[in-house]
Amino acid sequence: MRCTFLLLLLAAAAPGLYGQWTPRGEVGAVADDNPGNAAEADDVVPVRGGYAALGLGRTVVLGDAWRAHLAGDLRGEGFTRAPGLDLLSFRAEAALRWKLGYGALAPWVEAGLGASRDQFRQTLRNAWQGKVALRAGKRLTTSLDLQAEGWAERRRARTGPPEAPGVSADAFSQASTGLRVAAELALPANCYLTLAVLRRQGDVTLASTGGLDEYTQARAAVADPTFGPGFFAYRYPGATLGARAALLWAISERVALVLAYERMDTDVTGLEAYRRGLATLSTRFSF
């Protein structure tokens, strides 16, 4: 993960590239009804919070059909009821896009590589993460745009002390793959509606007050006081089906308001399914 992160930083600083860096930012409020991915109703701890992010983006013209995009951002998050989720993260991404034709309606394909570092107040969650993605898109009309993304990602987290002999404590490391399809519709009054669905397969980490004897099929387990005393974090294989709706209102060329809601339903192998809903209200701006 660290090697990927360093390669992205070197690419961003390469003197042979041209293109102007564009600063941007976002501030928002969050309501998460199940941040611990708890399957039992008694273990669900909803939280409210806020976040702020600052970033830079740079688009590099490599020819008539090729574009490269470099981006990085610093993000901070804070939450009520579960301050262990307070987070400072840094993300970097590089992508190469090939446009298959000319004009605004021409399709395109893109390959992306990303890396991030998450630093939580509850240090067991601290992790490096790497992601490889393939994307494609096509504007069907002047007001309707379709996109698809397939990805594979790996998260390598800090490992705590074992809770029992033979039981891994690496509960927050994850490996997963996924597919996302989205449609964006331009509306009157400078508004844009985005609808997306996704399917994710891989590791999930869930919170529970149940003991180790109740989760014998867990790949890893560790005591996790983030949501209160007696909680454990368990890592299981699972499959998630999610949907997201977002409405963006462009107030000006540099400022936009965004209202979004996403719902994720996850089937956990050997356990009951859990549900999670996340609502955000944010302001995006560029300089």
Query: What are the residue ranges of helices labelled H in 174-279?
Result: none
Note the pLDDT of residue 136.
98
Cα(195)–Cα(135) distance, rounded to whole angstroms?
17
Per-residue pLDDT at 2 exceeds 80: no
Encoding tokens for residue 107?
Answer: 């399709």
pLDDT reading at 162 higher than 90: no
Distance CA(114)–CA(203), nearest Å, equals 19
List pLDDT tens digits, range 44-87. 999 999 999 999 999 999 888 999 999 999 999 999 989 999 99
pLDDT of residue 16: 44
Residue that is written with structure tokens 């490096």 in the block = 128
User: Per-residue pLDDT for 140 more than 80?
Assistant: yes
Mean pLDDT to the nearest integer, 184-212:
96
Q: In whole angstroms, how far apart are CA 227 and each of 43, 47, 124, 191? A: 8, 10, 13, 38
Identify whether the C-beta of residue 77 lies closer than 8 Å to the C-beta of residue 94: no
Q: Identify the CATH number of the domain defined by range 2-286.
A: 2.40.160.40
Structure tokens at 277: 């809903």
Dihedral (Cα; 125, 70, 22, 147), 10-degree rounding: -90
Percent of the chain with pLDDT over 70: 93
How many helices and strands in the chain, by DSSP H and E?
Answer: 1, 13
- How far is it, in rounded angstroms, from Cα 76 to Cα 78? 7
Please name the amino acid found at residue 108. Answer: W
Across all residues in the chain, what is the average pLDDT? 92
Distance separating alpha carbons of residues 127 and 90, to the nearest angstrom: 11
Instruction: State how far the Cα of 239 lies from the Cα of 264, in Å rounded to an integer.
Output: 10
Share of the chain above pLDDT 90, in %: 81
Q: What pLDDT score does 115 carry?
A: 97
Mean pLDDT value of segment 258-275: 95
State the DSSP code for 40: S
Q: Are 205 and 215 in contact (CB under 8 A)?
A: no
Q: What's the 3-state SS for 142-194?
A: CCEEEEEEEEEEEEEECCCCCCCCCCCCCCCCEEEEEEEEEEEEEECCCEEEE
Question: For residues 93 and 249, what is the distance between their CA atoms, to the nearest angstrom?
Answer: 26
Please tell me the least confidently modeled range out of 90-94, 103-107, 184-188: 103-107
Which residues pair with residue 91 across a beta bridge? 73, 116
